[in-house]
Amino acid sequence: MPVYRSVCPLDCFDNCIWQVHVEDGKVVKIAGDPDFSPTKGFVCSKARKQIDRLYSPDRLLHPLRSVDGRWQKISWEQAYEIIADKLTSIIEKYGSQAILHHSGSGSNGILKTLDRRFFNALGGATVPAGSPCWGSGLAATEYDFGACMAHTWEDHTRAKTIILWGRDPFTTNPHLVPYLKEAQKNGAQITVINPIRVPTSELADRYVSLRPGTDGALALGMAHCILRERWLDWEFVRNHVEGFAEYARMVKNFPPEKVAKITGVSEETIVELAREYAIRKPSCIILGYGMQRYTNGGQTVRAINSLAAITGNIGVPGGGVNYAFLKAKQDLLKPIDGRELARKTRTVPFPTWGSSVLSTDDPPIKCIFVTRSNPVTQLPNTAKVVEAFKRTEFVVVIDFFLNDTADLADLVLPCTTVFEEEDIIYNSMNYHLAYAPQLVKPLGEAKSDPDIFMELAEYMGLQKFFNRSKAEWLREALEKAVEYGVTLERLKKEPVRNPLVRDVAWEDKKFLTPSGKFELYSERAAKDGLPPLPVYREPKENVADVQGATSEYPLQLITPHPAGRMHSQFLNLQSMEEAESLPSVEIHPETARQRYIRHGEEVIVESRHGQIRALAKISSAVRQDTVKIEQGWWIKEGGGVNFLTPEAVPDMGLGVPYYDCGCEIRKIY
């Protein structure tokens, strides 16, 4: 049976290289490439689901038009004609910014970025600003370091202390686990810090549960202990750190007894965490997304970053605060998104998307064009998002299925899966590029996103867009990479590690900040209207505190990524064992007892923004003050957790503070 090398297109930490088995023109199996070191011969359940998606009977295989609430099959020619007419008349009347191009990271690929080129070639559209998952943390990292760089996974095996701060590799990053185990074999102590007792806690040497949204206070409490006990690295601080004196003054206000009250973590644990992190070096922090999904999320990441700076755990093997490899990706690839073609662009912030689309004027939003994203399921305050879509004159969605967003469209265009198209795939959280060849013929009339936009551009006469082949676009994107030996021909033979990624980030200690140092005190932040130091502020929606104070919505709602889905992808492809009529809400046994709720019972979960139904799952993995509902459950399938989440603006970077959400659970009588 022919076996081909390909790569997972999902926006996942692991960036797996696959061996795809094809029989009689059909994809029948995916295995992990045993010769590729991070993948090491295994894949997660989401790989298999991509075959289920390819052959799903529900998959869209023809363009559809909504006529009086019913879907009508149309040809591509008709679809292009309708879109071209509509876009042309909107642009003539209101200008190109009356079009909102809403794009996400649902499927990665260099050629996929041609969607942006199309709208830039039209003159520049309105686009969302920020990034729901990690915008706040990225902004924080830029203030402190000047750019976002991380250590390789191989390097983590050299650490003696590892803190998995809000990261749960067992659930969302399984290929990191062997590296963590190797680090443990080499003598590393692993701590998990998370308000949920996540599966990775079982592997860890210590699990620290804290009150949601107080991670920044914990970091400053650790810093207080490090300074008080003189555990800091004076040489690193003297030579490479800006603003230590101001920082030290601030940190004096965070003694462990005070921080214990804020976080719910005992004084002894705070001191022990600080001691181990500062003394048992090298120490490495691996960040997840959860701790920055609050209104204080950016400052939280700045406070965590500061720990590495005062202890000299930066630029050394086995150290670092590890978030992503964004800079190396940006430095290697030339953008082909046509940003230079746009006359003007405008943004709507991700965290307030629904309200912003509704209130945007001059020009108002007349068209929403959605690619690689399912905003109706995924953005906060669903009621506002749905209203924004319903009030928009013309909505086009490219997708595999009629999901919650496609249901609100005037036109839905069917796209191909990774097996039916070619591309080079590289995400920002990993450091390998790989070529995904076309392995089977597209089913039905499905087309790849770049084909759709190239054909539409040709139909509309956008000269700067269509007259090139996909290979030419890929070569243009690799224009800088070829200087490092990364060519299309080589990528067709093997996956390539980004040559700009070093095992150890910031080894030369030349930070890309205005001072050239790590900035505990950031003038740039001050100029942006932010506190220059990583101050701690309570999350805005402050629910029950450790003293037991309550509000109308006393439970903190956390909506993490599920193991078996990528956001909302694959929800409709759940197996019989996974299939439930409603999402689960995980609650602590005491929380359930106080409300007379039994395991498996249907309940109402309510916040000040809305309510949904869910099945109670009683679990001591969640704290008494916290409930957990995994994100991504489609509204039309009984989900819609973002009916509960707020449109709140974070301190920086326009991440979405999904977890800044108090809620209550009610029994149904």
Cβ of residue 497: shortest distance to ligand SF4, in angstroms?
16
Classify burial at 31, counting beta carbons within 10 Å of its beta carbon; exposed 0-12, middle 13-18, buried 19 or more.
Answer: middle
Tell me which stretch binds ligand SF4 (CB under 6 A): 10-18, 87-95, 177-185, 214-222.
10-18
Cβ of residue 45: shortest distance to ligand SF4, in angstroms?
7
Backbone angles phi, psi at 333, to 5 degrees: -105, 140
CB atoms within 10 A of CB 485: 9
Is residue 66 within 8 Å of residue 407, measured between CB atoms? no
E-state strands within 415-532: 423-425, 432-436, 496-497, 518-519
10 binding ligand SF4? (CB under 6 A): yes
Nearer to ligand SF4, 432 or 475 (CB): 432
Cβ of residue 110: shortest distance to ligand SF4, in angstroms?
17
* Count of chain residues binding ligand SF4 (CB under 6 A): 11
Cβ of residue 637: shortest distance to ligand SF4, in angstroms?
21
Nearer to ligand SF4, 6 or 295 (CB): 6
**Mask 164-183, x = binds ligand SF4 (CB under 6 A)?**
----------x---------
Alpha-carbon distance of 477 to 455, in angstroms, equals: 20
Among 5, 12, 112, 157, binds ligand SF4 (CB under 6 A): 12
Nearer to ligand SF4, 16 or 111 (CB): 16
Backbone angles phi, psi at 31, to 5 degrees: -125, 160
Among 5, 6, 16, 634, binds ligand SF4 (CB under 6 A): 16
Strand 496-497 vs strand 432-436: parallel, antiparallel, or unpaired? antiparallel
Token pair belonging to 515: 């001072």
Nearer to ligand SF4, 15 or 295 (CB): 15
43 binding ligand SF4? (CB under 6 A): yes
Taking CB under 6 A as the criterion, which residues in 265-294 touch ligand SF4? Answer: none
Alpha-carbon distance of 462 to 454, in angstroms, equals: 9
Nearer to ligand SF4, 108 or 189 (CB): 108
Which residue reads 């078996």 in tokens?
A: 564
Cβ of residue 100: shortest distance to ligand SF4, in angstroms?
29
Helix (H, G, I), strand (E, B) or coil at 96: helix
Give just the sign of the alpha carbon dihedral 560, 330, 655, 338: negative
Which residue reads 């920086």 in tokens?
A: 652
CA atoms within 13 Å, Cβ hemisphere of 32: 18
Is residue 607 within 8 Å of residue 552, measured between CB atoms? no
Cβ of residue 656: shortest distance to ligand SF4, in angstroms?
21
The distance of Cα 241 from the centroid of its chain, to the nearest Å, equals 29
Among 6, 20, 36, 46, binds ligand SF4 (CB under 6 A): 46
Cβ of residue 53: shortest distance to ligand SF4, in angstroms?
12
Cβ of residue 286: shortest distance to ligand SF4, in angstroms?
16
Nearer to ligand SF4, 9 or 380 (CB): 9
Nearer to ligand SF4, 15 or 642 (CB): 15
Tell me which stretch binds ligand SF4 (CB under 6 A): 14-22, 186-194, 499-507, 631-639.
14-22
Helix (H, G, I), strand (E, B) or coil at 199: helix
Which residues have a Cβ under 8 Å from the Cβ of 196 and sit 6 or more positions away? 558, 560, 621, 622, 623, 626, 628
44 binding ligand SF4? (CB under 6 A): yes
Among 5, 6, 15, 360, binds ligand SF4 (CB under 6 A): 15
Nearer to ligand SF4, 16 or 150 (CB): 16
Tell me which stretch binds ligand SF4 (CB under 6 A): 41-49, 99-107, 358-366, 578-586.
41-49
Nearer to ligand SF4, 416 or 427 (CB): 427
E-state strands within 415-546: 423-425, 432-436, 496-497, 518-519
**How far from 181 is each of 154, 204, 358, 514, CA to CA, in Å?**
12, 10, 50, 39
Which residue reads 């922090």 in tokens?
A: 285
Nearer to ligand SF4, 46 or 447 (CB): 46
Cβ of residue 500: shortest distance to ligand SF4, in angstroms?
21
Cβ of residue 623: shortest distance to ligand SF4, in angstroms?
28
Strand 518-519 vs strand 555-558: parallel, antiparallel, or unpaired? unpaired
Taking CB under 6 A as the criterion, which residues in 572-631 touch ligand SF4? Answer: none
Cβ of residue 439: shortest distance to ligand SF4, in angstroms?
16
Which residue reads 């004084």 in tokens?
A: 267
417 binding ligand SF4? (CB under 6 A): no
Nearer to ligand SF4, 125 or 418 (CB): 418
How many residues are given for the chain?
Answer: 669
Alpha-carbon distance of 121 to 283, in angstroms, equals: 47
8 binding ligand SF4? (CB under 6 A): yes
Cβ of residue 524: shortest distance to ligand SF4, in angstroms?
34
Cβ of residue 169: shortest distance to ligand SF4, in angstroms?
10
125 binding ligand SF4? (CB under 6 A): no
Helix (H, G, I), strand (E, B) or coil at 12: coil
Which residues have a Cβ under 8 Å from the Cβ of 309 and sit 6 or more positions away? 144, 236, 237, 240, 241, 518, 520
Helix (H, G, I), strand (E, B) or coil at 19: strand
Among 20, 33, 36, 47, binds ligand SF4 (CB under 6 A): 47
Nearer to ligand SF4, 46 or 617 (CB): 46
The three-state DSSP-derived secondary structure of 374-421 is: CHHHHCCCHHHHHHHHHHCCEEEEEECCCCCCHHHCCEEEEECCHHHC
Is residue 32 within 8 Å of residue 43, measured between CB atoms? yes
14 binding ligand SF4? (CB under 6 A): yes
Is residue 565 within 8 Å of residue 46, measured between CB atoms? yes
Nearer to ligand SF4, 16 or 496 (CB): 16
Cβ of residue 80: shortest distance to ligand SF4, in angstroms?
33
Would you tell me which residues interact with ligand SF4 (CB under 6 A)?
8, 10, 12, 14-16, 43-44, 46-47, 174
